[in-house]
Structure 1
Amino acid sequence: MLQYTDSTRKNGEKVNRDSVASWYVQTLHGLTYLHWRGVLHRDLKPGNLFLSENQEALQIGDLGSAALMPGPGPHPAKRTVVRGSVTTPAYSSPEVWAGKNFMPASDVWSVGASFFEVMTMESLFSGESPAKMEEAVLAFDIEHPSREPERNSAGRAYAALRDSHMGQVAAELAELLRQDPLRRPMAATLAKRPATMHRLRTVLARCCLQGEEAEKQAHFASFERAVSESEA
Structure 2
Amino acid sequence: MSGDSLKVYPGSWAMTVVCGASGTGRTRFAYALAAQYNGHVVDTSDVLAAVRAMTGPGRIPELSYQDAEDWRDLVEAEGPGPRQKQPLRGTAEELAAARLRAADVLTPAVRAVMAEQPRLHLDGLYEYPHTVVTGRHALPTLAWDFAVILTETREQIHANLASRYSHDSSLDVRVEASTRVQDELLRRGRDHGKTQCHVVCVAARPWDDAVGRARREMTDRWDSSNALG
Q: Which bracket does the TM-score occupy, shorter chain normalised?
A: under 0.3
Between Structure 1 and Structure 2, the one with more helix by share is 1
Between Structure 1 and Structure 2, the one with more strand by share is 2
Q: TM-score with structure 1 length normalisation? A: 0.26
Flag the structure with larger Rg: 2
